[in-house]
Chains A and B, each alone.
Chain A
């Protein structure tokens, strides 16, 4: 519950936390003063026949204390929120940059829904940990001691009752807390799991309908959310039970103090005013401990959310290793801007230990201006090769060199600036079409965007949309067809105009007619550029300077179209297969 790493987060804002706790102590002190004057006034009127006029001064003091308390209360809550707010923002920012530096390979392996929950709701769950639980934890230590300091001089017996029962509260809290912690972790996982499940169902709704199963999912939704209810309630029950124990001690001790004081008043061993003062202090003694119990649950969900957050933060970032020692930047720029040569030396890649390797001993070299095509059955490792070149992943063995210099010593950003990439299933972001193309080069003007779209044969269909370039896109470009989305992605690449071009089945979603125009656009785009073209549609690869045929992570044939046809190997097979049915 006193999570070390969470507490470390407080360091930049410890001043605010100190202010919160200081105000809390101040309020407690004022409460003692108020109780003191109050008991005086009541005793005076009740036993000594004082009139309103004689007790007017202490009454006015009480009024002043009441006002001051409200002021301190306000400041304390505000600064508590500031603590939480700063930490949340900073953590969210760091978590997001961690997730993106982990890269596409990580994001693909995780449940997207779960990650979104962690970034948005998981971080929000920290609010109460920092604004309520943590300051309360400190106050629960300080305030009771402060109160005891006033109680003991008045009456050591009542002080003893408080002193003996007080520590029982934290002890029980820890005991119950241990149990609750496990349950609560379970609950957070259950929430993430529920989110992921719902997202899956929402995305697959059309499929469910086609199979006539959409209605039945109601039962599944009911079951999932019902089991979430049960998990939540079982966590809460423990939280309630812990609150019950804490309150039991607090109220019963207050009752005990009241009764013992009462008895001693009867025997005249204690004055009424001191007795009333003690009675008023008893709740003040227990309140911070009880509040801590109430905030316990909030604290727990914070700690659990933090568990997942730090788990992600601790994942090693694969390819960020050598950015710092990237050497002279100007030097790099010079090297990269004009002529260069890329070579793979015995490169192998395994995504996860124990899995079969995606790439196995790849050797290839590529001069600037050269166009290389990668073909082969799916799963042969073509896309992995592109991912290596983009530095989404690092090779498990072997080296990739650019101008005889290790690729990993070149800063990622610098390197990626040299590459335009069109992926298999291009993603379109929330925003307008123009914004989505603009993405390729932030400095581009709207005219440049339009001419890029024209180059990608996208201009016509964009103009047919009701809002033209300002048409807002839904998730994954819902309102655009796969082919249209691909053309937007090609427009991005055209706009970027980078010296290296990687096309990962860039034209797979296009129909023949638009493919032809896009092909021409790509041909223009590729002129004078180094290009790697991944394709299974063989029409796109014939013009390549060199065709690499891949299978099972290895390059099994390579050469020009005519040479490969002569070899009568896999390439020949694929080409005849492709032609076969249309001849």
Chain B
């Protein structure tokens, strides 16, 4: 129910076009009825050999209906499709606006193949809502009343036959089909999503599949899903074939019944024989309005499943909500964690357990520790991707909850191990950060990140494409591009989240200089599991299982002979 109201609310702004489309659609069918009925009438009149002038009006009528049908049909289609695609466009935007606040916390459990299938395929299905669910019943009703009144002028029993046939064909058959196809539409959508995921899996994980000889097993899996889909589609095909066969039969039966009643009336002299052919043919033509009704329930169900999948995300609660009030002005650019507790899900162990630390303006603090210690959680909280459970986080003298998420992030530049590069040009990837950035600024930032020379060496320079996920660039180049982005953003707080992981020592050494350059004059938080280059830090926090187990400067920590010393020894001795 909710899904229908939601779709109807999206249609509301377009009610004029929708009404026009409905009327045009009814007129198209009326013209068809008119063409066949007047033709039959013309023939019958002509058979009585009247003077030709008497037939002129009828002849004009035949030609008029022939022409009007064509014209109405064209405009009806144009208007209805135009409206439909406008609505689809709206839905896509609404969907994106809905999921944007959810990322990344609430979207972790969704595969991007699945999300893609929602924003493309599930939205695409919505076009059926107007064209195949909403419009046909209205049009059928209009035709039933219009032609029913026409028939009643001859004998009201004709109207009853028409109404009965409309009722069976318009409600009875669709209802029967619905009962028989219960759940198929929903299953089909689910199966298609499964297929999408499996195909995505086989493409993204192809290296593993091939190396482990699992290709055939995975292809078999896809084939099984495909088989299931085929079975469901076959059920739909059987039912839809049955529906269309029955519909055709009822239309013919309607014609037959009108004919039989007509013959009886002619026999009794209550109907002129001239009208007999006209009534029969007109009735048959009016059933054109009913043919689309057979699949209404099927489309409705498929539609609802798709809409539910969209609404599931659009209406989900974001992990972090913005305050209504405007953000305060920060007093300085320091930040602090005070007794912060946080866990990703109820019932899971604490990711951060009473964590406290402070970074003064332009201070440099590193957090180290084994993986799973909670290092990345600190970043997630600071960037307002997740909401902390207890304690407080302050930024510039105010709780970060007082700022909007966007304002908080605007103070922070981040270089992570996996910065996403968009499949666009280098220029576009840089401008993403600062759309109004000039060429000089781009070049300036690239020069500082030691990337300018390389970019110029490419045939297209700044307009070279980086490939999907930036695969055309090496690891070092990718990180430099990430650094250039942060330079462009020029935020006063810097987070380096395993920024150097995955680089070879020489590249790391080279990029390191640019990173130091980046840190100058900024409040910096370094997250790393390597202890290299931490001598310059003001403070190092050693994190284990969400708690700080040691803290101090590099030399102090070495003297303490604790976990830090242990980690440091592993790193150096093994070399």
Contact = CB atoms under 8 A, between A and B. Distances in A.
B480 interface: no
B210 A390 contact: yes
Interface in A444-499: 461, 464, 466, 474-476, 478-479, 481-484, 489, 492, 496
Interface in A13-69: 34, 38, 41-42, 45-47, 51-52, 55, 59, 62-63, 66-67, 69
B73 interface: yes
Contacts of A575: 575
20 contacts: A45-B262, A47-B273, A67-B249, A82-B234, A116-B113, A116-B199, A194-B120, A201-B96, A201-B422, A204-B422, A212-B409, A218-B93, A258-B38, A266-B46, A421-B211, A429-B201, A430-B201, A492-B212, A514-B370, A539-B574
Contacts of A202: 99, 112, 115-116, 119
A514 B421 CA distance: 29
A225 B260 CA distance: 55
Given A204-B422, A426-B208, A512-B530, A218 B120 contact: no
Interface in B178-219: 192, 195-215, 217-219
Contacts of B209: 100
Contact of B70 (A99, A251, A478): A251
Query: By CB atoms of chain A within 10 A, which of B66, B349, B410 has the most?
Result: B66
B199 A251 contact: no
Given A194-B120, A240-B74, A378-B474, A99 B86 contact: no
A264 to B, nearest CB: 8
Contacts of B533: 581
Contacts of B435: 213, 216
A218 B96 CA distance: 7
Contact of B371 (A38, A484, A508): A484
A251 B66 contact: yes
A416 B211 contact: yes
A178 interface: no
Contact of B267 (A51, A59, A201, A515): A51
A427 B208 contact: yes
B358 to A, nearest CB: 23
A385 to B, nearest CB: 15
Contacts of B458: none
A476 B99 CA distance: 20
Interface stretch (A101-109, A133-141, A396-404): A101-109
Nearest to A271: B47
A353 interface: no
A217 B468 CA distance: 18
A232 B237 contact: no
A120 interface: yes
B503 to A, nearest CB: 7
Interface in A107-164: 107-109, 111-113, 115-117, 119-121, 131
Interface stretch (A70-78, A167-175, A303-311, A363-371): A70-78
B245 A496 contact: no
Q: DSSP class of A's interface residues: helix, strand, loop or mixed?
A: helix
Contacts, number: 448
Contacts of A426: 208
Interface stretch (B7-15, B412-420, B445-453): B412-420
A546 interface: no
Given A120-B117, A419-B211, 16 more contacts: A45-B266, A66-B249, A66-B256, A81-B233, A82-B234, A93-B219, A115-B203, A205-B104, A209-B383, A214-B100, A222-B93, A236-B81, A251-B69, A263-B46, A413-B213, A516-B570
A116 B504 contact: no
B292 to A, nearest CB: 13
Contacts of B197: 430
Interface stretch (B16-24, B157-165, B223-231): B223-231
Given A112-B200, A204-B420, A430-B197, A511 B532 contact: no
A536 B503 contact: yes
Contact of A210 (B49, B383, B570, B575): B383
A95 B17 CA distance: 43
B168 interface: no
B213 A89 contact: no
Interface string A518-548: 0100000000000000001111001000000
Contacts of A63: 256
B208 A247 contact: no
Interface stretch (A272-280, A332-340, A342-350): A272-280
Contacts of B63: 252, 255, 259
Interface in A543-583: 573-575, 577-579, 581-583
A243 B248 contact: no
Interface in A209-261: 209-218, 221-222, 225-226, 228-229, 232-233, 236-237, 240-241, 243-244, 247-248, 251-252, 254-255, 258-259, 261
Q: How large is the interface on A (under 10, 10 to 19, 20 to 34, 35 or more residues)?
A: 35 or more
A45 B276 contact: yes
Nearest to B96: A221
A255 B433 contact: no
Contact of B423 (A47, A111, A439, A581): A111
B506 A478 contact: no
Contacts of A199: 112, 116
Query: By CB atoms of chain B within 10 A, which of A55, A225, A226 has the most?
Result: A225
Given A73-B245, A116-B196, A212-B409, A248 B207 contact: no
B33 to A, nearest CB: 12
Nearest to B348: A466
Interface in A297-335: none
Contacts of B570: 512-513, 515-516
A42 B259 contact: yes
A439 B44 contact: no
Given A204-B422, A209-B409, A439-B208, A508 B501 contact: yes
A104 B205 CA distance: 9
Contact of A577 (B246, B347, B506, B529): B506
Nearest to B472: A109
A73 B248 contact: yes
A100 B67 CA distance: 55
Interface string B242-268: 101110110011001001101110110
A179 interface: no
B507 interface: yes
Interface string B334-363: 000000000000011100000000000000
Nearest to B120: A195
Given A221-B92, A233-B85, A421-B211, A377 B507 contact: yes
B230 A89 contact: yes
A443 interface: no
A46 B47 contact: yes
Contact of B204 (A55, A71, A475, A479): A475
Given A440-B212, A581-B533, A196 B199 contact: no
A361 interface: no
A580 B474 CA distance: 24
Contacts of B348: 466
